Amino acid sequence: MLEASYILMATKSRVERVHGDFMPWLRDVRRVPVRYQRALPLPVVKYHQCVVLGATSHTLTIGVIEHKGEQWLALVQALTGTAIFPVLVTPERMRLLISRVERYQRFRQRYSRAYYVLQLPFQMRQLLLLRARVGA
């Protein structure tokens, strides 16, 4: 899990863009925290091979597999409305992280649909009882 102290130590000043070739390397990231899994749309995550790993009050820490250009940073900043602090992640780790995010979102969609389907007969019964009372 990414600790906030690591981010603060790596960024002594507020980083709004990557300067030169300097980009920190994050080796042992295992999971994307649940609260950040929906910070970026899944098509953007899959196309750009990036995931949100953490956040501070004004900055998102995003894991990427390669050094991205200024245009990419501007795109993600426009999408999220916050400054971006990119960190490098190995491509194997990134594939694992993206597959976990995708699996979680699929599970969440199925669960919400199943919950709705389970609630539908109860709601229909309540509606029929209400109509019977009003009509009587």
Q: Report the number of distinct structural domains present in the chain.
A: 1
| pLDDT value of residue 109 | 76
Q: What is the CATH number of the domain that holds 45?
A: 3.30.300.160
Question: Rounded to two decimals, what is the model's pTM?
Answer: 0.64
Lowest mean pLDDT among 30-39, 103-112, 118-127: 118-127
Who wins on pLDDT, 110 or 39?
A: 39
Highest mean pLDDT among 3-12, 23-32, 59-68, 108-117: 59-68
- Who has greater pLDDT, 1 or 43? 43
Are 56 and 118 in contact by the 8 Å Cβ rule? The answer is: no
Q: Would the pLDDT of 120 be above 90? A: no
DSSP the chain: ---HHHHHHH-SS--SS--TT---B--------GGGTTSS-HHHHHHHTEEEEEE-SSEEEEEESS---HHHHHHHHHHHSSEEEEEE--HHHHHHHHHHHHHHHHHHHHHHHHHHHHHHHHHHHHHHHHHHHHH-
Task: Say if residue 63's pLDDT is above 90.
Answer: yes
Q: Choose between 78 and 108: higher pLDDT.
A: 78
The β-bridge partners of 85 are: 61
**Closest of 42, 57, 54 to residue 87, by C-alpha:** 54
Enclosing domain of residue 55: 4-135
Residue 14 and residue 41 in contact, taking contact as beta carbons nearer than 8 Å: no
**How confident is the model over 79-116, as pLDDT tens digits?**
888 999 999 999 999 999 999 999 988 888 777 666 66
